Amino acid sequence: MTENLAKKNTRLVRMLVLVAVAMFGFGYALVPLYNWVCVDVLGLKDRADLVQSEADKRAVGKETVYVINKDREVVVEFATVLNEAIPMKFHAEVQQLKVHPGQYYTVNFSAQNTSDKTIRAQAKPSISPVEATDFFEKTQCFCFVEQTFKPKETKIMPVRFVVKPDLAEQYKKIMLLYTFFDITDKK
């Protein structure tokens, strides 16, 4: 009986070690798994990378003249998100726009502080599919600087952009998502 109990204990220890190794392996694989599923398969931009793209940084204030492709239309969808429990209303004035690559467009976004306190907020852009990021250039954007909203204040904030004409033909739709973060207590 003691020998049988020893075999059971040995098997239990082996099982527990195997489970611990499997859990470690799963935890180790989560980041590459996330990147593969969310970024590569679903085309979502990595949320951990909330910095502006290189194209955004280069584009501030200057507009490159492109040859406009009137034979092609790309649908640009606009979406907005409020992070955490930020007391605001936030939306694009249009949900989508058909654009010709190479031509500049301006879309207004509306944001309202619904609280009785001043809020400092910063909008971070995300473009989907992620492969289109370098072909979507913003020359004017409220996301370039932090915004201060007085109590109950509403702001109309323009975004001026162009879809570059060298965007691959396979991309017929681009989504521009802005997430507003409350940075009132930061710094």
pLDDT classification of 25: cutoffs 50, 70, 90: confident
d(CA 42, CA 65): 32
Summarised one tens digit per residue, pLDDT across range 33-65 is 766 666 666 655 544 343 444 444 444 457 888
Q: Which residues of 47-68 are buried (b: 16+ CB within 10 A; e: fewer)?
A: eeeeebbeebeebeeeeeebee
Q: Residue 170 in 3-state DSSP? A: coil
Shortest CA distance to 144 belongs to which of 167, 115, 123? Answer: 123
Summarised one tens digit per residue, pLDDT across range 61-114 is 578 888 899 999 999 999 999 987 889 999 999 999 999 999 999 999 999 999
